[in-house]
Amino acid sequence: MTIQDELQETIAGLIDGQRGILAADESTGTIAKRFSSVGVESNEENRRNYRAALLSSEGLGEFVSGVILFEETLGQSDPTGAPLAQVAASQKIIPGIKVDKGKGLLPGGSGDMITYGLDGLADRLQEYKKQGARFAKWREVYPVTLHNPTELGLHANAEMLARYAAICQSEGVVPIVEPEVLMDGAHSIGRSAEANEQVWHSVFHALHKHGVILELILLKPSMVTPGSESSRAEPQQVAEYTLRSLRRTVPAAVPSINFLSGGQAAEEATANLNALNQLSGAPWQLSFSYGRALQQPALAVWRGQSENTVAAQSALVKRAHLNHLAMLGQYQENLEPKA
């Protein structure tokens, strides 16, 4: 099998018009904050038990086609000794891996951010493939202010995403390209649309320059929403702004757009995805790659107690099912679990 055949096989397994991607790739620092919110200590055993519970949720594979794992998780096994990547694969959920090494301020005083981790990436991908990973994810983060993202920030971040994607494809690993335009701030939905269009335009310009095959990537963008300190937009408005901006900047060759939730509440992220698919007529599959918006209800039930595992798994599968319905434009708020 050629590298391009490998990539195409993975793409075909991830995209079926029915399922999305579970992001379970929180860094050690981020998962510690999530655990702390429900009174659970973030040690290796608790992280393993939690993620093993997520991946073994009965029926999850009906609604989730891939899972993004943290490096620690890819090397862990469940209580029976089965590698967690195999636990996912047994449900026809393709394992993937977060490969960036976190972010910091972009030197130059612009106020933009940059993500680290390109050094040695090809070698790491070879090892991850041996452990079962078939796709990867790299996130660049864009703050929105009156001046950001700047031209420097746009160029530097796009280059990082394009170089990462090119390395992935050369190793037979499908790249998820994640340019996250942050919700933090009081900016309007119009300013958000402007920033997202600048970001997406720069990213695809760089992907083209680096020879990345667009048919063999997934895009994981933000939805176009107002800043978190601004007034909330209704799903119809979010859908209209998001689709207009995507049509202006994202080539039709991209097979799937798997939105990040980016701080949206679970119900909000599902309602917005549903509105996007009801309005659609888009050339891409419009799907999800949610972390907290899928996991939070399950984490709130689990709370580190093994006797809560089945109930937590049920909460996760319920959330995944609702987002499956949103992909079909068939989600209704009355389907939400009663508080």
**222 CB contacts (<8 Å, ≥6 apart)?**
179, 180, 181, 182, 183, 192, 196, 259, 260, 262
What the block records as the tokens of 33 is 């904050």
pLDDT at 338 over 70: no
- From the candidates 140, 159, 171, 178, give the one annotated as an active-site residue: 178
How many C-alpha atoms does 222 have within 13 Å on its Cβ side? 30
Whether the bond between 107 and the residue before it is cis, its omega within 30 degrees of 0, is no
What the block records as the tokens of 119 is 């050094």
Compute the mean pLDDT over every residue in the chain, rounded to the nearest whole number. 96
User: Would residue 129 show up in a list of annotated catalytic residues for this protein?
Assistant: no
The identity of residue 15, as a single letter, is I
- State the CB neighbour count (10 A cutoff) for residue 119: 9
Of 328, 287, 332, the residue nearest 66 (C-alpha): 287
Domains present along the chain, CATH in parentheses: 3-335 (3.20.20.70)
Share of the chain above pLDDT 70, in %: 99
- From the candidates 6, 220, 240, 268, give the one annotated as an active-site residue: 220
Of 78, 281, 113, 100, the residue nearest 176 (C-alpha): 100
pTM: 0.96
pLDDT at 244 over 70: yes
Q: Report the largest interatomic distance among the alpha carbons of the chain, rounded to a whole angstrom.
A: 53
Tens digits of per-residue pLDDT, 138-167? 999 999 999 999 999 999 999 999 999 999
pLDDT at 339 over 70: no
Q: Are 103 and 76 in contact (CB under 8 A)?
A: no
The identity of residue 24, as a single letter, is A
Tens digits of per-residue pLDDT, 94-121? 999 999 999 999 999 899 999 999 999 9
What's the pLDDT at 140? 98
How far apart CA 174 and CA 158 sit, in angstroms, is 18
Which position has the token pair 């402007």?
A: 194
Instruction: Phi first, then psi: give them for residue 320, nearest 5 degrees.
Output: -65, -40
Whether the bond between 149 and the residue before it is cis, its omega within 30 degrees of 0, is yes
User: Would residue 178 show up in a list of annotated catalytic residues for this protein?
Assistant: yes
Helix (H, G, I), strand (E, B) or coil at 41: coil
How far apart CA 92 and CA 60 sit, in angstroms, is 9
Confidence at 174, pLDDT banded by 50, 70, 90: very high
Residues paired with 179 in a beta bridge: 140
